[in-house]
Amino acid sequence: MSWTQTVETNRLTLRDRFRTTRAASVAMCEPLAAEDYRIQPIAEVSPPWWNLGHTSWFFARNVLAGFGGQRTPEDDQLEYLLNSYYASFGPRIERFRRGLVTRPTTDEIYAYRRSVDRRMEHLLETAADEHWADLAFVTEVGIQHEQQHQELFYSEIKCILAQNPVDLRPAYREATTSAQVSHGPANCQFVEVQGGLVEFGNLQGGWCWDNELPVHRAYLPDFAIENRLITCGDFLEFIDDGGYQRQLLWLDNGWAAVQQAAAQQEAQHKAWNAPLYWEHRDEQWWLWTLGGMRPVDPAEPVCHVSFYEADAFARWRSETFDDYRGVRLPTEQEWEHAARYCSEQAVEKGPAAVNFLDTGRLHPEPASRSRGGVQQMLGDVWEWTSSYYAPYPGYQPFPGALAEYNGKFMDNQRVLRGGSCVSERDHLRLSYRNFWAAATRFQFTGFRLARDA
Amino acid sequence: MSWTQTVETNRLTLRDRFRTTRAASVAMCEPLAAEDYRIQPIAEVSPPWWNLGHTSWFFARNVLAGFGGQRTPEDDQLEYLLNSYYASFGPRIERFRRGLVTRPTTDEIYAYRRSVDRRMEHLLETAADEHWADLAFVTEVGIQHEQQHQELFYSEIKCILAQNPVDLRPAYREATTSAQVSHGPANCQFVEVQGGLVEFGNLQGGWCWDNELPVHRAYLPDFAIENRLITCGDFLEFIDDGGYQRQLLWLDNGWAAVQQAAAQQEAQHKAWNAPLYWEHRDEQWWLWTLGGMRPVDPAEPVCHVSFYEADAFARWRSETFDDYRGVRLPTEQEWEHAARYCSEQAVEKGPAAVNFLDTGRLHPEPASRSRGGVQQMLGDVWEWTSSYYAPYPGYQPFPGALAEYNGKFMDNQRVLRGGSCVSERDHLRLSYRNFWAAATRFQFTGFRLARDA
Amino acid sequence: MSWTQTVETNRLTLRDRFRTTRAASVAMCEPLAAEDYRIQPIAEVSPPWWNLGHTSWFFARNVLAGFGGQRTPEDDQLEYLLNSYYASFGPRIERFRRGLVTRPTTDEIYAYRRSVDRRMEHLLETAADEHWADLAFVTEVGIQHEQQHQELFYSEIKCILAQNPVDLRPAYREATTSAQVSHGPANCQFVEVQGGLVEFGNLQGGWCWDNELPVHRAYLPDFAIENRLITCGDFLEFIDDGGYQRQLLWLDNGWAAVQQAAAQQEAQHKAWNAPLYWEHRDEQWWLWTLGGMRPVDPAEPVCHVSFYEADAFARWRSETFDDYRGVRLPTEQEWEHAARYCSEQAVEKGPAAVNFLDTGRLHPEPASRSRGGVQQMLGDVWEWTSSYYAPYPGYQPFPGALAEYNGKFMDNQRVLRGGSCVSERDHLRLSYRNFWAAATRFQFTGFRLARDA
Amino acid sequence: MSWTQTVETNRLTLRDRFRTTRAASVAMCEPLAAEDYRIQPIAEVSPPWWNLGHTSWFFARNVLAGFGGQRTPEDDQLEYLLNSYYASFGPRIERFRRGLVTRPTTDEIYAYRRSVDRRMEHLLETAADEHWADLAFVTEVGIQHEQQHQELFYSEIKCILAQNPVDLRPAYREATTSAQVSHGPANCQFVEVQGGLVEFGNLQGGWCWDNELPVHRAYLPDFAIENRLITCGDFLEFIDDGGYQRQLLWLDNGWAAVQQAAAQQEAQHKAWNAPLYWEHRDEQWWLWTLGGMRPVDPAEPVCHVSFYEADAFARWRSETFDDYRGVRLPTEQEWEHAARYCSEQAVEKGPAAVNFLDTGRLHPEPASRSRGGVQQMLGDVWEWTSSYYAPYPGYQPFPGALAEYNGKFMDNQRVLRGGSCVSERDHLRLSYRNFWAAATRFQFTGFRLARDA
């Protein structure tokens, strides 16, 4: 096994990062009732028990088993249930059945977590120096993997709680005061960005996913990009103008998704007539948040829209307003270039006020009316781009079983950039590539528009 | 509202029956882990929390609300979730989503049970005499309804636990010693029964379901019926002779079910190559029981077979053995007549050793080698008959909302008779009609054969 | 092979019956365009080319091959395509693909028919006397089989032509004048019928299907039955009173069919808001007939309704009108008994004015205002009964491969009686049992009501 | 309406092109039996009658109706049936029902073609000069559109005839001698190609589809591309090495397609264990061609493989052979650049021996053993690229209703390049972009591999 990257990490530092990350997974589940751990409303939304178990299995299978760590009988017993999609590790439960098993119990999963923690910490402290580089690398993958599942958790628990009838639906936690109705959004403006033969990918080095490499050049024409995210208020105009009823605004597959949602009645496939989690009651639009139901705030970024809805909005806006003629979703190159050089959060992993998970808001925030520049590139909502999730030129998957991590999913998915209000701050990078199928709505997804220069 | 039957019950007696029945529902859930309460593997298998809630709602909606009992806010809050299929009571959650909600919590459901219990007991003790007859009747319906759900519970929890991989699968309780491999079944013999113009239905009076009335006459030709249930050993011969592979043995819909099960992979729709819950491992057949996995005992009645499998077995046996030429499933009239006049359990609700729920075995038992007569008519397994679930001539549904209880399901279902090892003894009658669609396998269903005289 | 019945037929008489029946299949296709021969709008509706081929194959496979007739290479070539559902004859094309093959061409099918005709006639004329009885019997089965497919043809071509947009839709033939708007229906009255221990089945002897035997006794309570069929005018009242929107009027499966039809958009699964082939245009109801589109005539029998619609109508009428309290569909025993003893068409195969195929109307006719007695028992429309298609006591399927003809379909289908306006007169009997699944609408199906005495 | 391109065409020249193209559609149908015109085996394969009608409607709707040409009642009558997917033209028949209508008859469609031809020719000859430019442009679109449908026709009729059982299956025409087993393929070699900041799109001007514009620059790293197409012999190695059984070789969606094909039995969704139209009989692989069934020729290009199969083959080859380490499908930019500058067919629309439709072979041919350079870039088979079908930077759809022609399908489809043995020579360009969903197999699709320099 030879890794394409090296992570140079002090043993204690890595152990502490491991410990912190593992603890965060436990902490995020604290508000849950026992019932909330076991439900899988749609195949894409795994139940929290599985989330907690799978992230532990990932260390047991990839680190402990690969580097001479201690194995326990539970490792074997749980293999079938906790392997997500690694064909190279053998048979595994169908994804849609994760919500149909009642064993291991949630308590047993917590015990298994603690067992893996003990064994991992022991391994990190005692592994031979000659294997340290590889061990550190795979451990880092496991930590990053767990951070991804933490982000997933917030979208999953939002979806899980939303299955309950409104009258009985518990909030994940109390509403935060800052998220109340604001004083109107910042003005929307286009910021011109100069292109050229530009470098893309993980320019600053350090650990990253295989899909962010190699660093490569691509030619980028000049373009302009909006200084803030599309808001709920913007999107309400689209709804009020019949956007969900006008076939000519939609991609063919997008319109098919609208039609299909109207005909089906499965969980979360409700009619598409507004973003997911919006409900029209008493002559106004309400919104389901992790802090409970509240009226839609026109100033805050629209969230939980699919790529198709974002694309239809862009076409509507382009055709409806002269000022917006030619607007479209940005490519991922445009997004990355603008974020790197023209954003107020320009410094990679910049310290600017970004609404990541650590702000505790768990919901996107309105853009500032006072700040200039391109706002909200990081945090708040994942931003749909028009780019497909494709390998960069010269792409090399991680070696071994981890080759299955990213590469095999590079088909018919769109890239999202920038992280969201439920992303860990130290998990994100400007070069970070998230990806979902175009009809996905349960993630914290929004968008901004761009146009040719 | 006027009822077609009267139940003459002393107030305290009825309250005690109410109390006993309600307590049994709680007791049966004692072995459950918190996780086991919330899973719905297939639409037909409701999760235990719902079972506990729905039976309470039934009293709240039909008794408390109908007879001036105390109403609470919970009654309204839970209406949408706990109404099963009563269109006359308004909108309700789709059946398949009962396993997708996490509220009310299981604790809240138990609290709701206690609330309903208190209010019901108060009502039973204080209701005006002028309403007593009606109140007693509907209360009796509620008690019988809860007993049905208790029986359902045992089949549901068996299915729920079976979703877990074998290595992790907990038994519902410890295996009973009596269910170990026996010394061979009783010999199978045909007992001749004389027909004629015979009365059917609830001859002995007392409370019964609307579908057991009116008592009516039908002409029944002479026939013969087997003295015991078909055993696992009998059924193994069918399997070994290629029964599941020979299309000509099956009804057209039955063969389609075999083909469909082979192509699908949904929960509980595994390939049909043996009864449900049988697994072939290490060159022998194993069986999932509420007491855990154990080898198949050839002497015990075959269980968890669909009508289609029972029907195919009959055709196979008729074609294969001269001694069995012409065997077929009995009609429900044949079954009832034989049970009433030719069974060792002949007395209605007879005291003979019948393997009902109160034996605590929770599994069918081999027929006795020493006893004569027609055995096992009551208890052990529900017996498929060839009769469709149709209204008796002159059938009158219960009045009001309870009209939806039985009548609207009289379409494309087959009648089963006799109760099973998970039926309450005082819930069953010789005239009792159970019914399921012909492809159903998760119930405790078996069969015996009959033939023309 | 030993048959349960004998047909005593003169060789020339049988050959002539064969010839006449075969010619009728060709004649009925004369109005077709080449295109009409190849379409299969739903799995149940076979294309005419297949109808013509399959009825020929039936003789080749069951008669020629079984009695030493001449075989040709075409017999083998076409076996796979023309075998309908006989597992005992080996593999065959899936039913739903009959409309997806373009070979044999329609001309080739006609040539194959002529080849089979020549060979059959030669066999009928030259077969050894010792095999004559068996040969005659199987030939008779083939003739009756072809008559069934002739009836099917009229329903199939009606459905096939209906796939075309109304503006382009050709009539099968010109409208007949007699079917124009009539002067109101005969009054609807209930006729009392005395029951008792009654004989059922093919009482008069002669050839019949295996499912009409054995003749057997059953006890029939007294009852009353309507003197005429339910009319379009009757049914319009149901529609106008919200019948298709009121769940409580429907069997559970029937309501599911209504809901499913609203969600799906497959051919012929249009929304159920009226009988099949009704369309609401220009503020009135129109009807598709084999003579083209025309306004609905309130006086004529309603046609193309499913069992579920008939059942819901009965429940609606019972609940809505005091005069109709307790009405329901008749059982097949009630129908047969009334038809045999109380109908103006009482004589078996009676000569009374019955609207069978030979009237040439191809559409049901209003009941006569002048005639008394129970009208329309034969002809006009197949009448839904509440009886399931079940084997009579002691039922014996035809021997050999023909055992698959009827028996394996005796599951979840309802019996219809009396023939229709597209039935051959000499094909029908009072004991004749037709059967379809309860949701079927493309057949010429209607109903009348009955009630307890 | 203002077009982004101009077509400068002499009136008579354009009329002649129109006439020639229209005649070719009629000629290609000459071998068809009447039955072959009406079948739609899968939604994607329209029946020939529709193909002939839709291409005529395209002129009637877009040219005649838009430029004052003569309208006829047939134009209105056929609008609903012949509109393919233009929402801006109003309601239309669902695509999957094109094979379920029997009117208009095929004769009527031919008559409609002649009517459109007459009216079009009259308009082309008499239109006012001031509208000529626009008229010529839209007419050119109609001609190109018809050429696309001619190509589609060959793949559709291949699929339609393939529905017939092998014994009855007619060839579209006689087998050509040149397609017999050849003397082995040309050696496969990689040709190095120099990249840089390169121009792409329709460089040479003249009419083209909106999706080929604007001409734009992109940065292309150096790469190498194979000198010939992957052959059946190459692909047999993949099959023999278990390629269809090894999940790790496949994209996740590709493996799902393999699994789904194994479980389903719809037309053309047979198990994926070889390219479409391959059948294993008598211990060798046979191939269905428009000239009938014949053994697979290892030297000829593999055809009728999906993107997923091509992608899996590349991964297999990369992992299996040191010489092929890193091979992958080319991007559409790589393909276009290599075709333009490094192919023996380098001149745009070059005269080199290319196996387009006009060779009459209707099947891909082996690469030449004697010729050097990059062969087979044009003709033979459409070549899958790894590129998604995305708009070029600055893409402008055609104006008006024709905006729906291409743009709305730019989602989750992959680009194919180079045309095939059933493409019109004068329809193709090096910049031509074809596109299909990744699981498509019924088109004449193959591939070659590339790798980084």
Cα pseudo-dihedral B213, B215, B220, B224, rounded to 10: 70
What the block records as the tokens of B273 is 């190559």
pLDDT value of residue A176? 74
Mean pLDDT calculated for residue range D286-307: 97
Chain B interface includes A268 (CB < 8 A): no
pLDDT value of residue A347? 47
Q: pTM value? A: 0.95
Chain B interface includes A39 (CB < 8 A): yes
Distance in Å, alpha carbon of B265 to nearest chain D alpha carbon:
10
- Rounded Cα distance, C127 and D351, in Å: 71
Which residue in C33, C38, C165 is closest to D35 by CB distance?
C38
Tokens 């009076």 map to which residue? Answer: B205
Sorted by sequence, the CB contacts under 8 Å of residue D196 that are 6+ apart come out as D219, D220
Instruction: Establish how many alpha carbons lie within 13 A of residue B230's alpha carbon, considering only the half-sphere containing its beta carbon.
Output: 30
- Rounded Cα distance, C251 and C312, in Å: 7
pLDDT value of residue A370? 75
Interchain pair C38, D33: CB under 8 A: no
- Rounded Cα distance, C199 and C202, in Å: 9
How many B-D residue pairs are in contact by the CB < 8 A criterion?
3
- Rounded Cα distance, B408 and D216, in Å: 67
Instruction: Tell whether the model's pLDDT for residue D6 goes beyond 70.
Output: no
- Rounded Cα distance, D271 and C102, in Å: 23
Q: Which chain B residue has its CA at the smallest distance from A162's CA?
A: B101
Q: What is the DSSP string of B148-191?
A: HHHHHHHHHHHHHHHTS-GGGPPPSSPPPGGGS--S-PPPP-EE
Chain C interface includes D148 (CB < 8 A): no
Residue whose C-alpha is closest to residue C8's, from C166, C135, C154: C135
Per the DSSP assignment, residues forming a β-bridge with C285 are C280
Instruction: Tell whether the model's pLDDT for residue C183 goes beyond 70.
Output: no
What the block records as the tokens of C182 is 């009539």
- Rounded Cα distance, C27 and A349, in Å: 83
Q: What share of chain D is helix, strand, coil (3-state, %, to 5)?
A: 40, 10, 45
Q: Which chain D residue has its CA at the smallest distance from C39's CA?
A: D100
Instruction: Tell whether the model's pLDDT for residue A102 goes beyond 60.
Output: yes
What the block records as the tokens of D447 is 């591939």
Instruction: Tell whether the model's pLDDT for residue B345 goes beyond 90.
Output: no
R_g over Cα of chain B: 22
Q: Residue B367 carries which side chain, given as an amino acid letter?
A: A
Mean pLDDT calculated for residue range C44-73: 97
Mean pLDDT calculated for residue range C220-241: 97
Give, rounded to a whole angstrom, the gap between the first and last alpha carbons of chain D: 46
Instruction: Report the interhelical angle of A11-28 vs A48-59 (nearest 10°).
Output: 170
Q: What is the DSSP letter of D129?
A: G
Q: Cα separations (Å) of D207 from D137, D211, D340?
A: 8, 12, 18
How much is the mean pLDDT over chain A?
93
Chain A interface includes C33 (CB < 8 A): no
Residue whose C-alpha is closest to residue B424's, from B117, B154, B26: B154
Neighbours of chain B (3+ CB pairs under 8 A): A, C, D
pLDDT value of residue B179? 46
pLDDT value of residue A221? 96
Distance in Å, alpha carbon of B278 to nearest chain D alpha carbon:
24
pLDDT value of residue A268? 58
Give, rounded to a whole angstrom, the gap between the first and last alpha carbons of chain B: 46
pLDDT value of residue A345? 63
- Rounded Cα distance, B333 and B353, in Å: 24
Residues of A in contact with C263 (CB under 8 A): 263-264
Interchain pair D251, A411: CB under 8 A: yes
Chain C interface includes B205 (CB < 8 A): no
Instruction: Tell whether the model's pLDDT for residue D285 goes beyond 90.
Output: yes
Q: Residue A86 carries which side chain, given as an amino acid letter?
A: Y
Q: Residue A26 carries which side chain, given as an amino acid letter?
A: V
pLDDT value of residue A366? 94
Q: Which chain B residue has its CA at the smallest distance from D259's CA?
A: B263
Neighbours of chain C (3+ CB pairs under 8 A): A, B, D
Q: What is the DSSP letter of C177?
A: G
How much is the mean pLDDT over chain B?
93
Residues 235-264 of A with CB under 8 A from C: 263-264
Residues of A in contact with D253 (CB under 8 A): 411-412
Residue whose C-alpha is closest to residue A101's, from A93, A110, A113: A93
What the block records as the tokens of A53 is 């178990």
Chain D interface includes C51 (CB < 8 A): no
Q: What is the DSSP letter of A307?
A: H
Q: Helix, strand or coil for residue C120?
A: helix
Of residues D280 and B5, which shows the higher confidence score?
Answer: D280
Residues of C in contact with A263 (CB under 8 A): 263-264
Which residue in D36, D101, D105 is closest to C163 by CB distance?
D101
- Rounded Cα distance, D155 and D42, in Å: 12
Q: Cα separations (Å) of B120 from B5, B207, B398?
A: 22, 20, 21
Q: What is the DSSP letter of A287?
A: E
Per residue in D163-173, pLDDT (tens digit) is: 999 999 999 99
pLDDT value of residue C187? 81
How much is the mean pLDDT over chain D?
93
Per the DSSP assignment, residues forming a β-bridge with D374 are D343
Q: Which chain A residue has its CA at the smallest distance from C261's CA?
A: A263
Q: What is the DSSP letter of B95?
A: G
Interchain pair D438, A253: CB under 8 A: no
Interchain pair D35, C39: CB under 8 A: no
Neighbours of C168 (CB within 10 A): 17
Instruction: Report the interhelical angle of B11-28 vs B48-59 (nearest 10°).
Output: 170
- Rounded Cα distance, D27 and D23, in Å: 6
Sorted by sequence, the CB contacts under 8 Å of residue C18 that are 6+ apart come out as C120, C121, C124, C139, C142, C143
Between strands C278-281 and C284-289, the pairing is: antiparallel
Instruction: Tell whether the model's pLDDT for residue A331 goes beyond 70.
Output: yes
pLDDT value of residue C103? 98
- Rounded Cα distance, D68 and D73, in Å: 15
Instruction: Tell whether the model's pLDDT for residue A352 goes beyond 90.
Output: no
Distance in Å, alpha carbon of D158 to nearest chain C alpha carbon:
12
What the block records as the tokens of B352 is 């003979």
Between strands D190-193 and C450-452, the pairing is: unpaired
Lowest model confidence (mean pLDDT) among A111-125, C206-220, C370-384, D101-115: C370-384
Neighbours of D217 (CB within 10 A): 15
Residues of C in contact with D163 (CB under 8 A): 97, 100-102
How would residue C134 be classed by pLDDT, with cut points 50, 70 and 90? very high
Q: Cα separations (Å) of B44 from B47, B84, B156, C290?
A: 10, 12, 9, 44
Distance in Å, alpha carbon of C19 to nearest chain B alpha carbon:
33
Sorted by sequence, the CB contacts under 8 Å of residue D427 that are 6+ apart come out as D144, D147, D148, D151, D419
How would residue B447 be classed by pLDDT, with cut points 50, 70 and 90? very high
Distance in Å, alpha carbon of B263 to nearest chain D alpha carbon:
6
Q: Which chain C residue has its CA at the smallest distance from D164's CA?
A: C101
Residue whose C-alpha is closest to residue B387's, from B324, B451, B433, B421: B433
Q: Which chain D residue has its CA at the smallest distance from C92's CA?
A: D165
Instruction: Tell whether the model's pLDDT for residue A180 goes beyond 50.
Output: no
Instruction: Report the interhelical angle of B307-320 vs B252-263 (nearest 10°).
Output: 120
Q: Which chain A residue has its CA at the smallest distance from B41's CA?
A: A100
Give, rounded to a whole angstrom, the gap between the first and last alpha carbons of chain C: 46
Mean pLDDT calculated for residue range C311-320: 98
Q: Which chain B residue has its CA at the smallest distance from D260's CA?
A: B263
Mean pLDDT calculated for residue range A179-192: 70
Query: Could you report the predicted ipTM of this complex, rounded to two decimals?
Result: 0.94
Neighbours of D118 (CB within 10 A): 11
pLDDT value of residue D270? 83
Instruction: Tell whether the model's pLDDT for residue A2 goes beyond 70.
Output: no
How much is the mean pLDDT over chain C?
93
Chain A interface includes D208 (CB < 8 A): no
Interchain pair B168, A77: CB under 8 A: yes
Per residue in D341-375, pLDDT (tens digit) is: 887 665 444 546 799 999 999 999 999 887 778 99
- Asked if D272 and D261 touch (Cβ cutoff 8 Å), the reply is yes
What the block records as the tokens of B350 is 């007879």
Instruction: Tell whether the model's pLDDT for residue A129 goes beyond 60.
Output: yes
pLDDT value of residue B178? 54
Chain D interface includes C102 (CB < 8 A): yes
pLDDT value of residue A263? 82
Per residue in D309-353, pLDDT (tens digit) is: 999 999 999 999 999 999 999 999 999 999 998 876 654 445 467
In the sheet that holds D450-452, the strands lie side by side as D190-193, D223-226, D450-452
Which residue in D87, D250, D253 is closest to A247 by CB distance?
D87
Per residue in B62-87, pLDDT (tens digit) is: 999 999 999 999 999 999 999 999 99
Which residue in C252, C253, C393 is closest to B221 by CB distance?
C393
